[in-house]
Amino acid sequence: MARHDAPPSRAVDPWAAFGRLVAGVAIYGTIGWAGDSWLGTEVLLPVGIVIGAALGLWTTFLGLRQQ
Amino acid sequence: MIRADVIRAEFTPPGPGDFDLAPLFGGTYAFAKPGLQLILAGVLVFGFFALTSRRAAMVPGRLQFAGEQAYGFVRNSLARDIIGSQDFMKFVPYLVSLFFFVLINNLFGLVPFFQFPTFSKAGFAYGLAALTWILYNGVGIWKHGLAGYLKHQSVPGGVTGPILLLIVPLEFISNLLVRPITLALRLFANMFAGHLLLILFTLGGEYLLLESEQLLYKPVGAIAILLAIAISFLELLIQFLQAYVFTLLTAMYVQGALAEEH
């Protein structure tokens, strides 16, 4: 039983990466789209999607590095 | 000749419409087969564990041994290993019930006369994921307080400065909004796809083998039926695996909500 007294293994939810990517693209894509329709431009949506995906990847990396 | 043409039915490929079953009876509280299976699964899980633990003895009988093996599997390999020996006991009842409830509902997909995985109806999967969502958020708020918990779930450790402004909404949405949806979708989509595949191979095989008059189609139909049997075994594995994954992720979310500050 002694080996179970150790702190729990910091198991990683593999779907967290998916959630972060989807959330990043959804939020910053929406912000970009809103900016586009406000300013009448067409570049902010793709820029928002790329930024969101990049941030999602980066937070996934941070989360894994912490383990 | 004309009569034979009328009798020969066209093959209608199975689709999502095959999942809309007629209610079993009328009235205000009408429900269809999946609803009955849901209730039956609850009764079976309760009945099994009540029966196996009713006359618990120091030296377990065969029934008690089976019950304890089932309970011990979830308790040790899911609850204790994920949540940790400090807090896990509080969550064992929920996790054990959850695992066997999902497992039995999934297995209904292969049991004769039922042959319908309950969670291939998305609504049930969302309901089940909502329970897990309430549990892990409730546990987190109880442990850290509301403000502390929101900070815990949306501010990742090791990040400082203005970049936090970009990260916080992302973490918040991914940890509190996307999680329950993917949890439900994974279970629903696996059950839905597996069942559709089985319908396709059995109905298609039956049509080719018995109803088409092209002689060459008949061996193809036989192969399709054989494949349907093989897929049933694959489904058995997936049904177990999805019950396991659902419970595993529930335990992980609880552990994440309970974890100390980074």
What is the per-residue pLDDT for B84? 86
Average pLDDT over chain A reads: 81
Cβ count near B9 (within 10 Å)? 8
| Bigger pLDDT: A67 vs B125 | B125
Q: Is B170 in Cβ contact with A20 (below 8 Å)?
A: yes
Residues B22 and B33 sit within 8 Å (Cβ to Cβ)? no
Q: Is B156 in Cβ contact with A59 (below 8 Å)?
A: yes
Q: Which residue from B134, B138, B135 is spatially nearest to B149, judged by alpha carbons?
A: B138
Residue B256 neighbours by CB under 8 Å, 6+ apart:
A13, B136, B175
- pLDDT-derived band of residue A9, with 50, 70 and 90 as boundaries? very low
A chain contacts of residue B82, beta-carbon cutoff 8 Å = 8-9, 11
Q: Which residue from B128, B82, B102 is spatially nearest to B41, judged by alpha carbons?
A: B102
> What is the mean pLDDT, run by run of 10 residues, along chain B of 262 residues?
52 86 83 91 94 80 87 92 89 95 95 92 95 96 93 82 86 90 94 94 91 87 94 96 95 90 59
Report d(CA B132, CA B257) in Å as an integer: 12
What is the per-residue pLDDT for B24? 85
Task: Provide the whole-model pTM.
Answer: 0.86
Q: Is A5 in Cβ contact with B178 (below 8 Å)?
A: no
- pLDDT-derived band of residue A6, with 50, 70 and 90 as boundaries? very low
A chain contacts of residue B167, beta-carbon cutoff 8 Å = 55, 59
Question: Chain B within 8 Å of A67 (Cβ-Cβ)?
Answer: no
What is the per-residue pLDDT for B239? 96
Residues 2-61 on A with a CB inside 8 Å of B are 4-5, 7-9, 11, 13, 15-16, 18-20, 22-24, 26-27, 51-52, 55-56, 59
